[in-house]
């Protein structure tokens, strides 16, 4: 009898530990599809979605808690995923490496994944060379799929550029960043990069000027 009681307490403790990782006011049932993946480790957890890393395949997956379907993030090259950002609604953004160019530059992709449909969009391609150029910074995502970020980007010049676009108008699954808007550029970078409602706001690091743009 004691052994059965101890086993019951152990199961209860594990159940509480798993449930405690999710907000009590959200529908977390669908997260189980991700949590049941082999050696799944929670990377991000919001009211609507959970992101896990499945260790054996070194792949990242996302689940909407109201849907219960595990969607692989950047399914084209899962072992190259370097960073997964906090989801916004049903969308999640990740960065991944995609090989080197002939002159040794490392390709970096910014990928948006729709955790409801499984659709994947290559938003932007940049290059990284000798720790100086091409990294992607300040990624900001809305639950509509709109996105903003800054990077030295494809031009490989000495300035950073802010890019922004909305899911409904600028993404094409066969191409990347077909209608990205280049909003600003600076050598000194940007400060206070943030979304305020439908507007993106930032401060130009060169002149300290506060600027904004509507993401639509």
Q: What is the CATH number of the domain that holds 98?
A: 2.40.128
Contact 192, 203 (CB under 8 A): yes
Q: Between the ranges 69-78, 153-162, 171-180, 186-195, where is the mean pLDDT highest?
A: 186-195
At 45-103, the pLDDT tens digits run: 999 999 999 987 779 999 999 988 999 998 766 557 888 999 999 999 998 887 777 77
Among 72, 93, 112, the domain-final residue is 72
Q: Is residue 91 within 8 Å of residue 113, measured between CB atoms?
A: yes
How many domains does the structure of the chain reveal?
2
Last residue of a domain, one of 72, 99, 127: 72
Query: Which residue would you say has higher pLDDT here, 47 or 176?
Result: 47
Q: Give the three-state DSSP class for 80.
A: helix
Tell which residue, 121, 203, 195, has the closest CA to residue 160: 203
Please tell me the distance from the alpha carbon of residue 152 to that of residue 30, in angstroms, as a whole number: 39
Q: Are 162 and 113 found together in one domain?
A: yes
Say whether both 67 and 82 belong to one domain: no
User: Largest Cα–Cα distance in the chain?
Assistant: 74
For residue 140, what are the CA distances in angstroms to 24, 39, 137, 171, 209? Answer: 26, 29, 9, 16, 20
Please tell me the pTM assigned to this model.
Answer: 0.78
Confidence of residue 106 (pLDDT cuts 50, 70, 90): confident
Across the chain, mean pLDDT equals 78
Same structural domain, 84 and 67:
no
Which residue range forms the structural domain that includes residue 46?
A: 1-72
Residues 90 and 191 in one domain: yes
């Amino acid at each position: 009898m004691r052994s059965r009681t101890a086993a019951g307490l152990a199961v209860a403790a594990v159940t509480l530990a798993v449930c405690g990782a999710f907000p009590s006011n959200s529908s977390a049932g669908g997260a189980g599809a991700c949590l049941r993946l082999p050696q799944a480790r929670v990377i991000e957890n919001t009211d609507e979605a959970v992101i896990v890393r499945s260790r054996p395949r070194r792949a990242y997956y996302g689940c909407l808690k109201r849907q219960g379907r595990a969607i692989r993030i950047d399914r084209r090259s899962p072992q190259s995923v370097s960073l997964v950002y906090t989801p916004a609604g049903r969308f999640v953004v990740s960065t991944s490496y995609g090989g080197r160019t002939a002159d040794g530059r490392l390709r970096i992709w910014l990928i948006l994944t729709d955790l409801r449909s499984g659709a994947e969009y290559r938003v932007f391609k940049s290059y990284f060379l000798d720790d100086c150029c091409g990294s992607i910074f300040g990624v900001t995502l809305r639950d509509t799929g709109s996105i903003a970020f800054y990077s030295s980007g494809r031009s490989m010049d000495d300035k950073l550029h802010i890019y922004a676009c909305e899911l409904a108008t600028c993404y094409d699954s066969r191409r990347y960043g077909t209608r990205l808007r280049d909003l600003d550029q600076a050598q000194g970078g940007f400060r206070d990069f943030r979304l305020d409602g439908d507007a993106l706001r930032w401060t130009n690091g060169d002149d300290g000027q506060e600027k904004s743009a509507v993401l639509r």
